Amino acid sequence: MRSEIGNLIGGQTSEAAGGRFEKLRPGDGSLLCTAPRSGEPEVRAAVAAARGAQREWAARTPVERGEIVRELALALRARREEAAAIVVEETGKSLELALGEADAAVEMGFFVAGEGRRLYGRTTTSAMPNRTVLVTRRPVGVAGLIVSFNTPLPNYAWKVFPAVFCGNAAVLKPSEHTPASAAFFGELCQKLLPPGVLNVVHGIGSEAGPPLVESSDVDLVSFTGSAGTGRSISERGGARLAKVVLELGGKNALVVCDDADLDRAVEWSLASAFSNAGQRCAAASRVVVFDSVYEEFRERFLAGARTYETGPVISEQSLERILRALEGQQVAGGGNRLERPGWWLAPSVVEDVARDASLSRTELFGPVALLYRVGDLDEAIALVNDSPYGLTSAIHTASLHRAMRFAEEVEAGVVVVNGGTHGSEPHMGFGGVKQSGTGWREAGIEALDVYTEWKYVNLIADPART
Ligand code: NAD
C-alpha cells in the first residue's frame, strides 16, 4: 500500500492544488497514508476526462463492455487478499469481514458482466399501422459517484461496475475515510479500462463533493451516504435538474415475537446490531421484543453483546458523536470507550428510550442497539413504522400469518423473516422508502435503470402506407 495516494484523472496519477489530507487507522489512530485534498479544479479536470472518454466507450458493444467488467471482477478476485488487507488497515474491521466484502464486490462484477449478453430492451405496439417501436437502453453520460466508507469495496463495485458497463464514464469520489482502497480499486480498473472512463478524485466530502454535484457536465449523480448529505446533494443537483439517485441511511428494526426461536433471534440480533461496528446502513439499531420474552431475550442479548467482537468506528469524531448521543440514556450494557488506542466503543445496549425521542429516530452508525418492549404484533408494527427511515426490517416468529402481516405492513424496502437485517446480493435490488432513499434500487437489474435512460425508437417500415 502506498503511503502517498494520488488522484486518478484521465489515466494519470495527479496531485491536488489544495495539498493533502491525512488518513488515520481507526484500529490504533496511527497514520496510514495521505491523499489529495481535491476541490473544484481537480473535479473539473476529472469530469472533462470522463466527458472526453465517454462517447468512444459507449460506442463499444454491451457484450464487449460486459467482458471488460468480467475481467475487472477476475482481477479483483485474483488480488482479494491484498484488497482485503488494505480495507482492514483503513477501517479496522476483521480480515474475515473484509474478505467477504472483496468477494461481494467480485460477485457484483460477475452479475453485471452477464448483462453484456442480456441488456434487454422491449418492443411495443402502436396505434399507427406499419409502426414498430423499439425501446432501448442508452448510457446516461458522465456519472458522478459519491460513496460511504462502511463497506468500501462493494460500495465502489455497486456503482462503478454498472455505471461503466452501461456505457457511462465515471468520476468516483470515495469517502475521505477510505482513500487507500479507492486508490487500489482505481488502479486495478485502470489496467483494463481506457483512460478517463473511470476517474478517482479524493478529498473531504464538503470540498470535493459539491463541485461534482454542481457540474453541468455530470449527467447523473449516484450517492450512497447519510440522509443529511443526501439532502444537500438533492438540493444542489435538483437546482440544475440533474438525475440524482440517493441511497441513504436507516434506523432498522428487528422484531422478536413470543413464538420466536430465541437462540436464533439472539444470534441474529447481535450480528445485525454489532457486525462491522454497527456501521451498516442495514444494521438493526432497534430491537423490538414481545413483553413475555423480553427479560429472557434481554439477558441473553446483553451477555452476547459483552463478548461481541466489533471493530472500531471509523473516526474520533464519529466515536465522540455516538458517546454524546448516549449521555443521559438508560445504558444497560457497554456505552463506554474502550481503553486502547483508536476509536473503539463497547457494543452498547440502551433501554427505555421514548419512541419519539431523537435517539429513537437518529441513525448513530455505530455499535448501539435500542431495546423496546411491545405487547403484540400491532404494537410492534406501529413502532417499526414510526420512523423517518424505511430501509430494512426483520421479524422472528414461527407464525406464517405474523410473518406475512409484517411483510405486508412494514414500511421498508427489505423484509427478512427469521434472519438478520441483511443488505443484499448482487442480483437483488436494494434500497428503501421514506428518508432511506429516493425510490431507486441499486444492484440487480434495477441498477440498469439508474445508469441508463430509455430511448423510444419509432420505425415506420412503409412510409407510403401510413
Ligand atoms: P456521509 O454522508 O458523511 O458521506 C458519504 C459520502 O458523501 C462521502 O464520500 C463524503 O465524502 C461525501 N460528502 C460529504 N459531504 C458532502 C457534500 N456536502 N457534498 C457531496 N458529497 C459529500 O456518510 P458516511 O458517514 O460516509 O456513511 C454513512 C451513511 O451512509 C449512513 O447514513 C448509512 O446508512 C449510509 N449508507 C447507505 C447505504 C445504502 O445502500 N442505502 C449503504 C451504505 C451506507
What does the pLDDT look like over 205-231, one tens digit per residue? 999 999 999 999 999 999 999 999 999
CA atoms of 347 and 369, how far apart (whole Å): 8
Length of the chain: 466
> DSSP character for 194?
P
CA 174 to centroid of ligand 1, rounded, Å: 9
- The model's pLDDT over 182-197, given as tens digits with 9 standing for 90+, comes to 999 999 999 999 999 9
| pLDDT (0 to 100) of residue 423 | 73
| pLDDT (0 to 100) of residue 155 | 98
Q: Is the pLDDT of residue 424 over 90?
A: no
Contact 224, 245 (CB under 8 A): no
| pLDDT (0 to 100) of residue 218 | 98
Secondary structure class of 78 (helix, strand, coil): helix
- The model's pLDDT over 117-136, given as tens digits with 9 standing for 90+, comes to 999 999 998 999 889 999 99
Q: Is the pLDDT of residue 362 over 70?
A: yes
| Mean pLDDT across 227-250 | 98
Q: What angle (nearest 5°) sits at the alpha carbon of residue 100, between those of residues 95 and 101? A: 100
Which residues is 437 bridged to in the sheet? 247
- The model's pLDDT over 363-417, given as tens digits with 9 standing for 90+, comes to 999 999 999 999 999 999 999 999 999 999 999 999 999 999 999 999 999 999 9
CA atoms of 85 and 424, how far apart (whole Å): 23
Q: Is the CB of 150 under 6 A from ligand 1?
A: yes
| pLDDT (0 to 100) of residue 465 | 74
Q: Whose CA is nearest to atom 30 of ligand 1?
A: 225
252-417: in CATH 3.90.550.10:
no
pLDDT confidence band for 88 (50 / 70 / 90): very high
At 130, list the grid cell: 406499419
Q: Is the CB of 385 under 6 A from ligand 1?
A: no
| pLDDT (0 to 100) of residue 463 | 81
CATH of 7-248+437-455, one of 3.60.150.10, 3.50.50.60, 3.40.605.10, 3.30.2350.10: 3.40.605.10
281 catalytic? Reply is yes
pLDDT confidence band for 10 (50 / 70 / 90): very high
- Among all chains, which residue has been given the C-alpha cell 428510550? 353
Q: What are the backbone dihedrals phi and psi of residue 461, each rounded to the nearest 5 degrees, phi first?
A: -70, -35
Nearest residue to 395 (alpha-carbon basis) of 259, 236, 301: 259
Q: Is the CB of 149 under 6 A from ligand 1?
A: yes
Nearest residue to 313 (alpha-carbon basis) of 117, 15, 93: 93
Q: Of the listed 90, 247, 363, 442, which one is catalytic?
A: 247
| pLDDT (0 to 100) of residue 1 | 72
Pairing outcome for strands 330-333 and 20-24: unpaired
DSSP states of 225-254 as a string? Answer: S-HHHHHHHHHHHHHTT-EEEEE----EEE
Burial class (CB in 10 A: 0-12, 13-18, 19+), 98: buried
CA 150 to centroid of ligand 1, rounded, Å: 9
Q: Is the CB of 42 under 6 A from ligand 1?
A: no
The ranges assigned to domains in the chain are 7-248+437-455, 252-417
Contact 282, 421 (CB under 8 A): yes
CB atoms near residue 207 (< 10 Å): 18
| pLDDT (0 to 100) of residue 186 | 98
Q: Is the CB of 115 under 6 A from ligand 1?
A: no
CA atoms of 285 and 362, how far apart (whole Å): 10
CA 186 to centroid of ligand 1, rounded, Å: 19
- The model's pLDDT over 288-334, given as tens digits with 9 standing for 90+, comes to 999 999 999 999 999 999 999 999 999 999 999 999 999 999 999 99
Predicted TM-score (pTM) of the model is 0.98
Across the chain, mean pLDDT equals: 97
247 catalytic? Reply is yes
Pairing outcome for strands 169-173 and 142-146: parallel
Contact 344, 338 (CB under 8 A): yes
Q: Is the CB of 213 under 6 A from ligand 1?
A: yes
- The model's pLDDT over 444-465, given as tens digits with 9 standing for 90+, comes to 999 999 999 999 999 998 888 7
CA atoms of 128 and 106, how far apart (whole Å): 47
CA atoms of 100 and 94, how far apart (whole Å): 10
Q: Is the pLDDT of residue 27 over 80?
A: yes
Secondary structure class of 244 (helix, strand, coil): strand
CB atoms near residue 215 (< 10 Å): 23
Enumerate residues 6+ apart whose C-beta is below 8 A from 270: 301, 304, 305, 308
| pLDDT (0 to 100) of residue 466 | 65
Q: Of the listed 33, 166, 189, 281, which one is catalytic?
A: 281
| pLDDT (0 to 100) of residue 374 | 98
CA 139 to centroid of ligand 1, rounded, Å: 25
Which residues is 348 bridged to in the sheet? 368
In angstroms, the Cα distances linking 281 to 258, 301, 365 are 27, 21, 8
